Amino acid sequence: MFECPYISYSEIGKRADSFLRQHHPSFEIPIPVEDIIELNLGLNIFPFPRLYKDHGLNGFLSRDLSTIHVDEIQYNQFNEKYRYTLAHELGHYVLHKTCYDDLTFQSIDDYKRWRISVPAEEISWFETQGEWFAGQLLVPTKQLIDVCHTVVAKHRHVFKKMTSIPDDIWSYISIEIAGYFDVNPPVVEIRIKKENIPNIIPIIDQ
- pLDDT at residue 205 is higher than 80: no
Average confidence (pLDDT) over 151-160? 81
Q: Under DSSP, is residue 48 helix (H, G, I), strand (E, B) or coil?
A: strand
Q: 159 pLDDT band (50/70/90 cuts)?
A: confident
Q: 206 pLDDT band (50/70/90 cuts)?
A: very low
In the Cβ-directed half-sphere of 98, how many Cα atoms lie within 13 Å?
Answer: 4
- pLDDT at residue 154 is higher than 80: yes
Q: What is the dihedral of CA 147, 29, 83, 92, to 10 degrees?
A: -100
Higher pLDDT, 176 or 5: 176
pLDDT for 1? 67
CB 59 within 8 A of CB 81: no
**Topology of the domain comprising 9-138:** Arc Repressor Mutant, subunit A (1.10.10)
List every span in the chain annotated with CATH 1.10.10. 9-138
Q: 106 pLDDT band (50/70/90 cuts)?
A: confident
Q: Tell me the C-alpha distance between 69 and 51, whole Å.
A: 9
What's the pLDDT tens digit per position in 36-75?
999 999 999 999 999 999 999 999 999 999 999 999 999 9
Q: What is the dihedral of CA 139, 141, 146, 151, to 10 degrees?
A: 50
Q: Tell me the C-alpha distance between 159 and 162, whole Å.
A: 5
pLDDT for 165? 64
Average confidence (pLDDT) over 130-140? 98
Average confidence (pLDDT) over 72-83? 97
Mean pLDDT over each residue of the chain, to the nearest integer: 92
Helix intervals (H) in 24-56: 33-35, 51-55
User: Considering the chain, what percentage of its residues have pLDDT values greater than 70?
Assistant: 94
Higher pLDDT, 32 or 1: 32
